[in-house]
Amino acid sequence: MSCISDDLLARYATGDDLPEETLWVLEAHLETCPECRARMAVAIEADPELPALVESIRLEIAPRLGPGRGRLWQARHRLRRTLARWAVPAILPWLAMTVAVPLAATLLEAAGPDDMPPLLLLIAPLVPMLGVAVSWNRWTDPAHALVAVAPRSGLPLVLRRTLVALLVTLPPVALAGLAVGASPARWLLPGLAFTTVVLAVGALAGVTRAAIGVTVLWSLGVILPTLSDLTDPVLLDAAATPGWLAVIVCAAAALTRFRYRFQLEGTSR
Amino acid sequence: MRAIEEERPLVWPVKAEGLSVRAGRRLAVDGIDLDLGPGVHGVLGPNGAGKTTLLRALATVQPPAAGTLELIGQAVHDGGDLRAVRRGLGYLPQAFGYYKRFTVREFVEYLAWLKELPAHDIPAAAQRAIDQVGLTARADDKLRTLSGGMVRRAGLAQALIGDPALLILDEPTAGVDPGQRQELRTLLRGLGRTACVVIATHVVEDVAAACTDLIVLSEGKVAFRGTPDELAARAGDGGDELTSTFERGYVEVLR
């Protein structure tokens, strides 16, 4: 079919009663001809009845949009939507609790005698890791069954939540550490190493299980001996920095290798 | 023969060969073959027959223990693009948790974002899905204020987001009141014209009213495959007034 005449196009655009077979041929042509589609868009815009039609549609859908849809509602809706995309709505109380433990240790340390063991320094490396475990956990994410089959589910979503967990947990612990003389330089690198290890091992065994495992090992291997001997933990000395860096590199490599496991429900949580 | 071949879709939404799936240590689905195209496919069977496990496998939650599974032209858990499959998939599990402080709209929009819909399409797509399940008037109510049936409909709305080519619904009308069930069946029939809808249900009326095709599972194997009329035709003589021919046919194929 050659291109549609202006007259026919205008009649079609304004909803004129055209014969069935003309409509069929015309619509078939419009599907394949971008030029006629563009001409029809112009013809529709020129329709004097269009503003009235738009207004009638607006009036019809306005009640469905409901009251309170002002700027405040929209701003609040946008904020809640953005927050939800970065953090599971249910994890904030859990993250707060994760931060509360080292803060309690700080208070205890500050109020205790001078030879009190460095409680915060010992606990601080575990805090970011526990924050991550909380954020990728089926008990704190009630919608995990729906999240699991979403295309966005997987390592990028885990890393998104990890970033939030780090942003929420690190600043208060750093401030508390400075108050009792536990410099972040000593615990931050081990903390990041634990976080990476938990994600890498968590891809295979579940993040929560991995976090429990690291906590138990750190408690038995470092916290308890330090508390009983009242000595400074060697693993938090500057000399251990290359070791922690090596752990981070190895764990990151393993995480990259097994990242697909985060797409499967039940294995990584 | 030629005409029949031409009617088949180029890419089967579901194609399984010798599919076995475990539920814990038990082999809940045991070596079944399935080719499902557009339409509403009902999965029936007694408790423990493997319905939910089969649906979990079709929803990419549960990896196959043996056999092959292709969804929307992609192999699942075997080098296929799982993300591409999930973009074309809508899933309503038998039981699902939700964020109680979310409104229906926030919940559906969040799931739409997880489904990687373009940001500017999300509000309209969410509104359309909410309208489809009849929750328009409650769209801005918090989920914790809704009844169980309404929460189920909100769950169905998130499954409909993005017009999925493959829709997996486990007990979609559970807890929904009779009037709404009727509307949901009409909705399912409409969706089945273009999409492959797989529903597991115990509600006989749903199957009879919405399904074009039935799969009856028994101990993890396919005991029957055919139309509702064909299942009803299996009904033997006897029965009482309270038992439909459809139900008698169902009992018959499980013998």
The share of chain B scoring above pLDDT 90, in percent, equals 55
The end-to-end CA distance of chain B, in Å, is 34
Structure token pair of residue B105: 């709209």
User: In this predicted structure, what is the pLDDT of residue B3?
Assistant: 42
pLDDT(B8) > 70: no
Contact flag A151-B86 (C-beta cutoff 8 Å): yes
CA distance A84 to chain B (A): 7
**pLDDT band (50, 70, 90) for residue B118:** very high
Residues from chain A contacting residue B110 (CB–CB below 8 Å): 81, 84-85
How does pLDDT run across A125-143, given as a tens digit for each residue?
999 999 889 888 888 888 8
Cα B126 to Cα B120: distance, rounded to the nearest angstrom? 11
Residue range B34-58, pLDDT digits in tens: 999 999 999 999 988 999 999 999 9
- Determine the pLDDT at residue B40: 94
Binding-face residues of A in 2-61 toward B, CB within 8 A = none
Mean pLDDT of chain B: 87
Per residue in B70-103, pLDDT tens? 999 888 876 678 888 999 999 999 888 888 889 9
Which residues from A are below 8 Å from B77, CB to CB?
A: 264
- The 10 Å Cβ neighbour count of residue A119 is 22
User: Of the ranges A40-54, A123-137, A206-220, B9-23, which one carries the lowest mean pLDDT score?
Assistant: A40-54
**Mean pLDDT rounded to a whole number for chain A:** 83
Give me the residue spans of the domains in chain A.
6-65, 77-263
Would you tell me which residues 129-158 of chain A have a C-beta closer than 8 angstroms to some C-beta of chain B?
Answer: 141-154, 157
What does each C-alpha distance from B240 to A24, A171, B209, B243, B248 come to in angstroms?
53, 72, 21, 6, 10
Instruction: Identify the band that residue B1 occupies on the pLDDT scale cut at 50, 70 and 90.
Output: very low
CA A108 to chain centre: 34
pLDDT, tens only, A62-110: 655 555 567 888 888 888 888 778 877 677 777 777 788 888 888 887 7
pLDDT category of residue B6 using cuts at 50, 70 and 90: very low
Q: Residue A8 carries which side chain, given as an amino acid letter?
A: L
Q: Domains for chain B: give ranges and CATH numbers.
A: 2-222 (3.40.50.300)
How far B61 CA lies from chain A's nearest CA (Å)? 6
A181 touches chain B (CB under 8 A): no
Lowest mean pLDDT among A23-32, B74-83, B236-245: B236-245
Q: What is the pLDDT of residue A120?
A: 86
| pLDDT at residue A245 in the model | 95
Mutation to test the A interface, candidates B71, B76, B86, most A Cβ within 10 Å:
B86
pLDDT of residue A72: 83
Q: Is A71 on the interface with B (CB under 8 A)?
A: no
CB-based contacts of B171-178 (< 8 A; 24+ apart in sequence): B171/B94, B171/B200, B171/B201, B171/B202, B172/B92, B172/B199, B172/B201, B172/B206, B173/B201, B173/B203, B173/B206, B174/B94, B174/B201, B174/B203, B175/B147, B175/B148, B175/B149, B176/B149, B176/B152, B177/B149
Non-local CB neighbours of A85 within 8 Å, separated by 6+ positions? A160, B110, B113
Among candidate residues B14, B8, B152, the one with its CA nearest the CA of residue B160: B152
A212: closest CA among A107, A121, A139, A116?
A139
pLDDT of B107 over the 60 cut: yes
* ipTM (interface pTM): 0.81
Tokens of A252: 């990151």
Q: Which candidate in B86, B102, B114 is best for mutational testing of the A interface (most A CBs within 10 A)?
A: B114
| pLDDT band of B5, cuts 50, 70, 90 | very low
Q: Phi first, then psi: what are they for A47, rounded to 5°?
A: -65, 120
Q: CB-CB: which of A81, A143, A260 is closest to B109?
A: A81
Residue with the two structure tokens 């699942």: B76
